[in-house]
Amino acid sequence: MKIICPKDLLAKYINIVSKAVSGKSTMQILECILLTADAGGLRMTANDMEMAIETDYIGAEVIREGAVCLEARFFSEIVRKMPDGPIDIQTDLNNVTVFKNGPTELKILGQAPDEFPRMPAFEKDRYIKIPAVKFKNMIRQTIFSVSQDNSKPVFTGGLLELKDGAVNLVTVDGFRISFRREAVMASDGTDENNFALTAVVPGRTLNEIGKILDAEEEGELFIYFTDKHVLFEQKQFTLLSRLIEGDFLRYEKNLSAGAATRLLIGREELILSLERSMLISRDMVKNPVALKIGGDRLIITSNTEQGTIYDEIDAKTDGDDLAISFNPRYLTDALKAIDESEVAMEFNTSISPCIIKSAADGGGYKYLIMATRSLG
C-alpha cells in the first residue's frame, strides 16, 4: 500500500474511528485501526466488537492499493507529531509501515489486515432520517441522565422510540427522566412508512455519536435498525452498534401527571441561583437545595456546614404554595440542556417529582426530577 494524505485529514479521521478502538483487549487486533486503500480512496475502520466505525473515503491519493492495521494510539501520535503537510504512508509485504514527510521518516511494524473484524452486512429496510444537528442536540439534552449502574443494563442506554411520525429519545437513571422529541422522516421499505420502533441504544454509542456529529455542518443522519443492531450513517462515517436487550421504563405516565403548583421562571436566573447554592455544598445529596414557591416568587435556600444562602427570584406562580427540596445538580443539568429563555416547572406535593417543560408546552422536551425530602 502507498498513499499520500494531508496530515489534518488523517488526524481528523483517526479521531473519529478511535472512538471504537478497544482500550484493553485480549485481542491485540482490536486496539488497531484498519487502513484500506483501493480505487475509491482511503478508508479507516475500528471495531471493538460492541461498536464499529468506518469512515467514508478520505481525500488521499492512492498510488498502490493495499491494507494494514496500525496500533491506534501509536498511529495517532505519529501523525500528530509529523511535520505539517502531506504524509506519504507505504507498507511492504511484511506490514512494515513507513511515514515520510520531507526529510522526516518514521518506520513501524503494522499488523496483517486479515484478522481484523470487518463490519457486517446490514439490511437497510427500516430507517429514520433526521437532520444531524437535531439529533446531536437530542443527545446533548438527554445524555446526562443515562444510568451508570451496570446492575440494570437497560438503563445504561437511551430509549430510541419511533411513533406517530416523531422520534423520542429517553434516558433514566433512577433519580430523573429526560425526554426529547423531534419530527422525522421514516421508512420501512413500504409505501405506508408508518412503522413503530423501540430500541435501547448504549449510552456510550450515543455519547460518541454526539461527539462525531458536527454542530456546524448541515446534512441528514440516517439511522437503520435490525433486532440486535443500530447503524448510524452520515456522509463522513458509518457507526454500527449492538442494542441493549431488556424492558425499558414505561415513562409516559410519569411525565403526564397533573400539577397542583405551576411555576414560570427565567431559565438563566434559576441556573445562576442554583449554582450559587452549590458553592456551599460539597455533598448535594445530604445538603439539597430548598425551594419555596408562592406569591409570584421562588425562594431558594441552603444551609450547610460551609455556610448558608438565601435567594429570591421573581416568577409567575399558579396553584398551591409549596415547599420542596432537590439535589441542585439534577435541576441544573436539565436547565442547562434547554435552549429556551423561560421554562415551566410543575409540582404536586412536597415529596412528588418536579416536571420541567416548555413554557409554551410545545418544546418537545420534558425532564422529571425526584424530590429529596419534604420540608414540612
For the chain, list the domains and their CATH numbers.
2-115 (3.10.150.10), 127-242 (3.10.150.10), 258-369 (3.10.150.10)
Q: How confident is the model at residue 253 (pLDDT cuts 50, 70, 90)?
A: very high
Residues 237-245, mean pLDDT to the nearest whole number: 96
180 CA to centre of own chain:
13
CB 188 within 8 A of CB 196: no
Chain mean pLDDT for the chain: 93
Side-by-side strand order, sheet with 104-109? 61-64, 2-6, 86-91, 96-101, 104-109
Residues 243-252, mean pLDDT to the nearest whole number: 95
CB 255 within 8 A of CB 366: yes
The string of pLDDT tens digits covering residues 194-237 is 678 899 999 999 999 999 998 667 799 999 998 899 999 998 89
pLDDT at 190 over 70: no
Indicate the pTM of the whole model: 0.92
pLDDT at 5 over 90: yes
Provide the pLDDT for residue 374. 41
What is the 3-class SS of 298-316, one letter each residue?
Answer: EEEEEEECCEEEEEEEECE
pLDDT at 285 over 80: no
Instruction: Write out the three cell numbers for 110.
Output: 503494522
Long-range (24+ apart) CB contacts under 8 A made by 93-99 are 95/68, 95/69, 97/68, 97/70
Residues 75-90, mean pLDDT to the nearest whole number: 97
Nearest by Cα to 244 from 343, 371, 159, 332? 159
**Following CA atoms 237, 238, 241, 247 in sequence, which dihedral angle do they give, to the nearest 10 degrees?**
100
